[in-house]
Structure 1
Amino acid sequence: MNIAYFLLPKSNVAYLYDDYTFRQGLEKMRYHGYTAIPVITRNGTYVGTVSEGDFLWQLLSDETKQQKALSMKDMEHLRIRDILRGNHYPPVRITVSMEELVQSAMNQNFIPVVDDLGNFTGIVTRKDIIRYYAGKQQALVQPPLRKIV
């Protein structure tokens, strides 16, 4: 099975640029209602995925250092690339096997897909993989229809 069947292309995916400000990133995540979102460079290279937790940890680490409440205005100088905390969403190539794709889906809500140059091409969602296997299972369970004359 080719995973291109499951691919949600970049043009249909919300993502952040790594040079967006902290505020821009939060606003985009809030607008779309996501808990995690891919981050790419302006050249299209996949950098990682930022989550709500990454934003929260950044706020907490800065607040404890300064001992004062931070406003969103204070966070204008901070960039998304500065808050990425490791890549918990490793990307796969379009040529990945279904077994490897399912393994990745066990640990993450979506799997970023990159081309041979590391450019972000889209995502595969866990929901689509489950839907595919559920449909396959349903086809095996249902007896074939017979024509009654």
Structure 2
Amino acid sequence: MKNILFFLLPKRDVVFLNVNCSLKFALEVMEKNGYSAIPLISDKGKYVGTLTEGDLLWGFKNNPDINFDNCSRFDLKDLKLSRRIKSAKIGEPHETILHMAKYQNFIPVTDDNGVFIGIIRRQEILDYLLGDDLQYALHDSEYKV
């Protein structure tokens, strides 16, 4: 299997959010991009978790002070993240990356200091493992999702 960096979508090409942005901004970004999960980073660029649609839903449900009219006054850091989406370091063994991809649509990747540098998408791993022939055969077929 190729080096982990072969699969890396660099941070500059990834939609991510800062923990200090508002719930309203997060909702708008997720809706605009059609994402159900987005990496969260700190002011220092460190990966702190992944925000999911469920986190937003439960945040609204469990906090009676938050509603759609005032959600711009609440920050993501005020939400409890329901799932712990693990990140991988650059030097992770391939087996670890494959195991993580089994449970996560994408794997946040950090450097040795925990700074977010990008993601690895499960789709790229599967495309590589399935090989080019199958990837291209399915690309234009009725089975593509």
Compute the TM-score of the two structures, normalised by the length of structure 1: 0.83
Match of 2:109 in 1: 113
- The letter of the residue matching 1:111 is I
Contact preservation (8 Å) 2:59, 2:80: no
Unaligned runs of 5+ in 1: 139-149
Partner of 1:14, secondary structure, is coil
Indicate whether 1:72 and 2:53 are aligned. no
Contact preservation (8 Å) 2:49, 2:86: yes
* Counterpart Cα distance in 2 of 1:85 and 1:19: 14
Deviates more, 1:53-62 or 1:87-96: 87-96
* Counterpart Cα distance in 1 of 2:91 and 2:133: 24
Match of 2:78 in 1: 82
Contact preservation (8 Å) 1:48, 1:86: no
* Counterpart Cα distance in 2 of 1:136 and 1:97: 23
Give me the identity figure in percent.
Answer: 36
Partner of 2:35, secondary structure, is coil
Deviates more, 1:54-63 or 1:9-18: 54-63
RMSD of the TM alignment (CA)? 1.7
**CA distances 1:28-49 after superposition (whole Å, capped 9, x unpaired):** 1111100000000121111100
How far the C-alpha of 1:75 sits from its partner, in A, is 1.6
Match of 1:40 in 2: 41
* Counterpart Cα distance in 2 of 1:121 and 1:127: 19
Match of 2:21 in 1: 20
Question: Over alpha carbons, which structure has the higher Rg?
Answer: 1
**CA distances 1:55-88 after superposition (whole Å, capped 9, x unpaired):** 000111124xx6xxx5423222211111142552
* Counterpart Cα distance in 2 of 1:86 and 1:118: 21
Unaligned runs of 5+ in 2: 135-145
**CA distances 1:78-110 after superposition (whole Å, capped 9, x unpaired):** 111111425521101011111110100011100
Match of 2:55 in 1: 54
